């Protein structure tokens, strides 16, 4: 994960300034079929917000409502003091990078990039110099006279980005722009896109189904599930403190443990440890990397760890780490991420710190 320092977030939080965009109780149905339910969120100036969700979660619909290609069934969208959702798309100071780029096939790269400036009837000289700058920014100056069909997918992607940014929008919407690229180019573009966003300081709303991509790039992640906002938080928080079982499972791997709290102690299978939770059943998320293998050399358990034994029943090599499936005596099965080793076998002594087992809400099933 990239180190995401959040100066922009801090600034907007401190100043108490108005958010750039606020989405208020947006709902959308197609016929009888609700796609979005009561979505409210705010986007700060200069923020990189990712809308994350699996297919059918409504993430693209939400983006299309912000852009103006769909109208919400109810709710409002405000950009500072201007109500946005009542304006047609061509009056919104919002630009979009489309999933399949949507470059105009009959125009050259240069004409594509200058399209927004030409329809806004900017002076020719200014249009030309801004197009030139935008092409330089995405390192595509050499292709100015090419037609989109003659350049590669990655290059088309850059042109789509330049075509949107050249208009200096307040907000840039990106609809899974990297999904058509192969893995290597994709990782490279993630880094480029993020540094470009810092450079231009424009707020980005980025839609993706790829949780890793969301983690690498975002200031905050808004996780959508079946049309509802499941959780919105920074990548570190959403990973470390998932609010629901769904979030914990969708973002990274996790072990979900069913436990019972009685008098400040949670009991889960044969394990127990002290918690600060009210009595009753509880669901806990424990990340595989928070489980450690205890080597014989290390002495007795510390005060604040839970120790137990388990048998390795499956091992999967992940390059830099190893993912083990471990079965405990009482039938409890856990995933554990460890250092790589050719052959993990037999009985292991394992431990984790109680604070790493995070209580999560059960994600209720919806239809």
Partner 1 sequence: MFSRAYRAAITVPPLVWVAVFLLVPYALLFCYSFWSVSPAQTIVHSWTLDNYRDLFRVNVYLQTLFRSMGIAARVMLFSLLLGYPLAYYLSFYAGARKELFYQLVIIPLWVSYLVRAYAWKTILGSDGVLNTLLQYVHLTRHPLDFLLYSPFAVVLTLTHIYTPFAFLPIYASLEHIPRNLVEASHDLGASPFQTFWRVIFPLSIPGVLAGATFAFVLSLGDFLAPLLLGGPSGIMISNIVVSLFGAAYNWPLGAAISLCMLLLVLALIYLSESLEKKWSFR
Q: Using the rule CB under 8 A, is 98 a contact of partner 1?
A: yes
Kindly state the smallest distance separating residue 61's Cβ from partner 1, in Å. Answer: 14
Kindly state the smallest distance separating residue 301's Cβ from partner 1, in Å. Answer: 59
Q: Could you tell me the strand order of the sheet in which 265-268 lies?
A: 271-274, 265-268, 255-262, 280-286, 358-360
Kindly state the smallest distance separating residue 1's Cβ from partner 1, in Å. Answer: 32
Kindly state the smallest distance separating residue 183's Cβ from partner 1, in Å. Answer: 25
Segment near partner 1 (CB under 8 A); pick from 10-18, 115-123, 248-256, 344-352:
115-123
* Alpha carbons 239 and 218: distance in angstroms, whole number: 13
Q: Using the rule CB under 8 A, is 344 a contact of partner 1?
A: no
Q: Residues 5, 120, 298, 316: which binds partner 1 (CB under 8 A)?
A: 120
Q: How many residues bind partner 1 (CB under 8 A)?
A: 26
* Alpha carbons 364 and 28: distance in angstroms, whole number: 21
Q: Using the rule CB under 8 A, is 128 a contact of partner 1?
A: no
Kindly state the smallest distance separating residue 30's Cβ from partner 1, in Å. Answer: 14
* Alpha carbons 202 and 180: distance in angstroms, whole number: 24
Helix pair 153-165, 109-119: axis angle to 10 deg: 20
Q: Using the rule CB under 8 A, is 317 a contact of partner 1?
A: no
Residue 103 or 181: which CB sits closer to partner 1? Answer: 103
* Alpha carbons 317 and 314: distance in angstroms, whole number: 10
Best CA proximity match to 54, nearest among 211, 179, 267:
211
* Alpha carbons 363 and 94: distance in angstroms, whole number: 34
Q: Using the rule CB under 8 A, is 106 a contact of partner 1?
A: yes
Mapped onto helix, strand or coil, the DSSP state of residue 307 is strand
Number of helices (H), then strands (E), in the chain: 9, 20
Q: Using the rule CB under 8 A, is 242 a contact of partner 1?
A: no
Kindly state the smallest distance separating residue 213's Cβ from partner 1, in Å. Answer: 22
Asked whether 140 and 159 are in contact (CB, 8 A), the reply is yes
- Write the DSSP assignment of 80-141 as a string of letters: TTEE-TTS-GGGSSEEEE-TT----TTS-HHHHHHHHHHHTT--HHHHHHHHHHHHHHTT-G
Kindly state the smallest distance separating residue 144's Cβ from partner 1, in Å. Answer: 17
Residue 172 or 359: which CB sits closer to partner 1? Answer: 172
Mapped onto helix, strand or coil, the DSSP state of residue 219 is coil
Q: Residues 147, 168, 170, 187: which binds partner 1 (CB under 8 A)?
A: 147
Residue 105 or 263: which CB sits closer to partner 1? Answer: 105
Per-residue binding string, partner 1, 58-97, x by CB under 8 A, is ---------xxx------------------xxxx--xxx-
- Positions touching partner 1 (CB under 8 A) are 67-69, 88-91, 94-96, 98, 100, 102-106, 115-116, 119-120, 147, 149, 163-164, 167
């Amino acid at each position: 994960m990239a180190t995401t320092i959040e100066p922009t977030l801090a600034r907007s939080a401190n100043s108490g300034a108005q958010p750039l965009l606020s989405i208020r109780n947006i709902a959308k149905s197609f016929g009888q079929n609700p796609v979005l339910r009561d979505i409210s969120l705010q986007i700060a100036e200069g923020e990189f917000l990712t809308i994350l969700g699996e297919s059918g979660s409504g993430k693209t619909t939400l983006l299309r409502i912000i852009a103006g290609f769909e109208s919400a069934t109810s709710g409002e969208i405000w950009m500072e003091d201007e109500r946005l959702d009542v304006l047609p798309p061509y009056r919104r100071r919002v630009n979009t990078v489309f999933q399949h780029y949507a470059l105009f096939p009959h125009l050259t790269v240069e004409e594509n990039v200058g399209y927004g400036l030409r329809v806004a009837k900017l002076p020719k000289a200014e249009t030309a110099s801004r197009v030139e700058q935008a092409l330089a920014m995405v390192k595509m100056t050499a292709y100015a006279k090419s037609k989109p069909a003659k350049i590669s997918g990655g290059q088309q992607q850059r042109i789509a980005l330049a075509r949107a940014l050249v208009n200096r929008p307040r907000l840039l919407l990106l609809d899974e722009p990297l999904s058509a690229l192969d893995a290597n180019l994709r990782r490279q573009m993630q880094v480029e896109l993020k540094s470009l966003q810092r450079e231009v300081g424009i707020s980005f709303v980025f839609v993706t189904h790829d949780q890793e991509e969301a983690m690498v790039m975002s200031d905050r992640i808004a996780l959508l599930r079946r049309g509802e906002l499941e959780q919105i938080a920074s990548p570190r928080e959403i990973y470390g403190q998932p609010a629901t079982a769904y979030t914990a499972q969708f973002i990274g791997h996790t072990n979900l443990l069913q436990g019972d709290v009685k008098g400040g102690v949670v009991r889960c299978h044969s394990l127990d440890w002290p918690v600060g939770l009210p009595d009753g059943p509880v669901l806990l998320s424990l990340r595989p990397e928070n489980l450690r293998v205890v080597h014989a050399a290390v002495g007795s358990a510390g005060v604040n760890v839970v120790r137990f034994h388990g048998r390795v029943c499956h091992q999967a090599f992940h390059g830099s780490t190893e993912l083990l499936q471990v079965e405990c005596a009482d039938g409890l099965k856990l995933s554990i991420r460890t250092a790589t080793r050719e052959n993990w076998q037999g009985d292991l002594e394992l431990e984790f710190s109680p604070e790493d087992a995070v209580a999560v809400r059960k994600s209720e099933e919806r239809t």
